[in-house]
Amino acid sequence: MRKATIAVLTAATLVVGGAYYGLADALDLAPGPLSAAEPSYAVQPFPTPSPVEAPGPQVAGLAADAPTPSAAVLSGYAGTLAGDSLIPGATTGVSIIDVATGTELVDQQASTPLTPASSNKVLTAWASLSALGGNHRMETSAVLSGGTVTLVGGGDVLLAADAGDPSAVVGHAGLGDLARAAAAELTAQGVTSVGVTLDDTLFTGPTWNSGWESGNEAWVAQIQPIMVDVTAHSNTGAYPADPAMEAAQTFSQALSAAGITVTGEVTRAAAPAGATRLASVQSAPLADVLSVSLKASDNTMTEVEGRVLAAATGREASFTGAAQAVREQLQTDGFDVTGLTLIDSCGLARGDKVPARLLAQIMARAAGADGGTVGRDLLAALPVGALDGTLGDRYVGTSAAGTVRAKTGSLEQTVSLTGTIVTADGRLLAYSVIIDGFPEGGMWSARTAMDNDLIVPLSGCGCQG
């Protein structure tokens, strides 16, 4: 599935040149890149976007000798955005990098640490792919000690309640399958009655980030290492109070249905060191999982990915440990993390601070000759303008349709966009733009300014240097 997705999206890039919470996160198409806004703010009227001509036939695809756009012209776009009256009081950071040469063409406060919103997910995705590889899978297992079966969570939060679907990403592994396999092994051992416990100790520390504002409970679950398909709750505005225990109870019921008598209630306990493995199931590959989380901007999945990274690299699998793991992997990969402050993995925390340049450099590395499978997996997981994910209904009918690939980001007073774009001349550029600190209620205006002043002109640029 991942290979097919990569092939389709890569081909598309080459061919074309590279209600809920504010109507379900405004243009970002919830689930949840936004933090919860207070209902009392004064909503600004939605500005009328400037009409833009649809892309013409001049976009013929990437070419090694495609002309580099004028840095002066591109900087002019960024300057226009920074001074736009639609974003009064905001700080705008823009970095645009020519992928072929690595040259930064635009530095509009690119080194200034700003709140990145969900562009923060790019950092987690790169670090996870780089450290673990796109083929990494999360394992859920059942073990036996004495008369107790323990369900051990390993970071899969897309589990099917019953049978898994090996052709799918969501629901790839099933708790019902795990229970039936465990029941068969128990029967073979002559065991007919057991108690059931849940081991969710892979993750440590708080399950809720103190940097998240009240109200975000609608857009991110308690962070635990096992859940039944967390995406099923993404557009409902409500997550289970204890997703891990819900998964354990689902497993217990399936074990009972498979002919094993389950005594008592499901409780929490770490699996004993000498426990015997009964059965296990594995998630889809990490690259496919990231494609789901990045395209939908799923906060819970990204936080889990950060902790899985931390656990796999020997750090404490907590919010703090995940932030350290991401930062250290970026440093290992040669990125300059000056000014980087990470409170979480998904970008819900306003205290996250990231320079636009760092985000653009990650995109340039991913899209460049040395991006390797890490870069290809990351790019394939990003939404594409007017095609899918949180960009599915954005840039329709403009020159940016199909040529923009990006991670969106939106908080109450921050919008961002981080990805790659192909100019009308066929030049591949990496970029990140962050607009931070506009008045409450100004998100729609800020996003309109970003698109009209920078992104659409950039995609239609035939502005040779």
pLDDT digits (tens, 9 = 90+) for 266-313: 999 999 999 999 999 999 999 999 999 999 999 999 999 999 999 999
CA–CA gap between residue 400 and residue 54 (Å, rounded): 9
Number of helices and strands in the chain (H, E): 12, 15
Say what the alpha-carbon torsion angle 352, 285, 248, 154 is, to the nearest 10 degrees: -70
Coil, strand or helix: which one is 268?
Answer: strand
Pair of tokens at residue 286: 């990490």
Pair of tokens at residue 445: 């205006």
CA–CA gap between residue 266 and residue 19 (Å, rounded): 36
Residue 216 CB partners (closer than 8 Å, separation 6+):
32, 35, 36, 348
Single-letter code of the amino acid located at 52 = V
Orientation of helix 2-16 relative to helix 286-296, angle to 10°: 50
pLDDT of residue 63: 67
**In 258-400, which ranges are continuous DSSP H helix?**
286-296, 299-312, 319-332, 356-367, 372-381
CA angle 106, 443, 292 (to 5 degrees): 80
CA–CA gap between residue 358 and residue 406 (Å, rounded): 15
Q: Which residues are catalytic?
A: 118, 121, 297
pTM of the full predicted structure?
Answer: 0.88
Can you say how many angstroms the Cα of residue 141 is from the centroid of all Cα atoms in its chain? 26
Q: What is the end-to-end Cα distance of the chain in Å, rounded? A: 41
Question: In which residue ranges of the chain is pLDDT below 50?
Answer: 1-27, 29-60
Asked whether 170 and 290 are in contact (CB, 8 A), the reply is: no
pLDDT of residue 89: 97
pLDDT of residue 234: 86
Q: Domains plus CATH for the chain? A: 2-132+289-294+317-459 (3.40.710.10), 139-284 (3.50.80.20)
**93, β-bridge pairs:** 434
Place of tokens 């409970």: 217
262, HSE (Cβ side, Cα atoms, 13 Å): 22
pLDDT of residue 380: 97
Pair of tokens at residue 64: 């090694």
Pairing state between β 226-228 and 156-159? parallel
Ramachandran area for residue 212 (φ above 0: left; ψ -120 to 50: alpha; else beta): beta
What is residue 30's DSSP assignment?
S
Place of tokens 């019902």: 176
pLDDT of residue 19: 36
Say what the alpha-carbon torsion angle 75, 76, 80, 82 is, to the nearest 10 degrees: 20
